[in-house]
Amino acid sequence: MADSAASPATNGSSIDSLKGNAQAAYNQIASGPVAQNVKDQSAKTSAEFSNLANARQTPSEPAATGQPLTHYHSFFSELLSWNNPRASAIAYASVVSLIFVARYLDVIRYTFKLTWMALGVTVLAEVAGKAILGNGLATQLRPRKYYTLPRETLDSLIGDVHELINFFVIESQRILFAENVPASTAAAIGAFLSYYLVKVVPYWGLALIVTTLTFFVPLAYATNQELIDHYVKEASDVVNSQTEQLRQVASKHTSQATEITKQYMGDYTQKAQQMLRGRSASPEATSKPAQSHLKDSDFPQAPKQDIKGTEDSSEEEEEEEEPLIST
């Protein structure tokens, strides 16, 4: 009897000691360096995501047309600048994961499969519950009030979608009209390379390449900014010097061509004036009197009688021809 009475006490003490050891081990692990590092990294990640969310502000600098930009311009600029490396890395990993999911998983097919399985379980649970218990199991799990989407949430969601669409629309126009020449140049080179890569690389591979370049080119520039700026400045100086040299050579040849043209024009003008003066001074150019081929015999002879006698005779004939008026 004493042994049987002592055994429950011994079992209870062993269970308590086991619980105490497990709690001590958990506390040791939770307060250890690994757990503390995990907590610190989680806190830093949360802080970086908060900074990324707070960066969604409308930029103070408008577009070239004077239109205000969207808050997604600041958001993506902050995301791709890697000022918050954990948030940028998680965003890159998420995009790459979505690309691989879309490539290797038939999402639409699995969506239909999950739908019919979920509906089949709820229908069977409802029918079985009513048949056995008199009350359906799905009815017991049904909420008292169905969930509805608040209008404020919907308006906020629509506003974000509208801003996101405008971000892509504005950026495409800024690239098309070369508001930022380096960005337009990079887009043109990317489109040119994609035109040939799409023949040998599948679309998901092309999307993976574009995503990787979009995220890691700014990171490479931010890491080696001084070196890249140095080489870019040297290349710009070489291009400017060559351009200035070409401009000087072109100006020199243009001035020489202008002088030669003026010289030829002066010579041609002088020759033309000499030709005109020579024509006006030559005897062939002077006007000559017109020579008539008529002879004196071609004209009638002049009358030799007196003109007055003929006039008196004509007057007398006119008087004789007038009729006499009798009263």
The pLDDT tens digits of the residues spanning 232-278 come to 888 888 888 888 888 888 888 888 888 888 888 888 888 888 788 77
**pLDDT at residue 262, as a whole number:** 84
Encoded tokens for 18: 């086991």
The answer to whether residue 176 scores a pLDDT higher than 80 is yes
**pLDDT at residue 6, as a whole number:** 46
The residue written with tokens 């040998």 in the block is 200
The values of phi and psi at residue 208, to 5°, are: -65, -40
pLDDT band at 298 (very low <50, low <70, confident <90, very high): low
| CA–CA separation, 181 and 184 (whole Å) | 5
**pLDDT at residue 303, as a whole number:** 61
- pLDDT tens-digit profile of 75-131? 999 999 999 999 999 999 999 999 999 999 888 999 999 999 999 999 999 998 888
Mean pLDDT of 58-63: 88
**pLDDT at residue 86, as a whole number:** 92
Confirm if 109 and 96 have CB atoms less than 8 A apart: no
Q: What is the pTM of this model?
A: 0.64
**pLDDT at residue 115, as a whole number:** 96
Mean pLDDT of 64-70: 89
Q: State the DSSP code for 279.
A: H
* CA distances in angstroms from 325 to 43, 321, 322, listed in the order given: 152, 13, 9
**pLDDT at residue 137, as a whole number:** 84
Averaged pLDDT score across all residues of the chain:
81
Q: How many other CB atoms sit within 10 Å of the CB of residue 69? A: 19
**pLDDT at residue 1, as a whole number:** 44
The answer to whether residue 292 scores a pLDDT higher than 90 is no
Encoded tokens for 246: 């070409």
pLDDT band at 204 (very low <50, low <70, confident <90, very high): very high
- pLDDT tens-digit profile of 9-55? 555 566 767 677 676 666 666 666 777 787 888 888 899 899 988 88
**pLDDT at residue 304, as a whole number:** 60
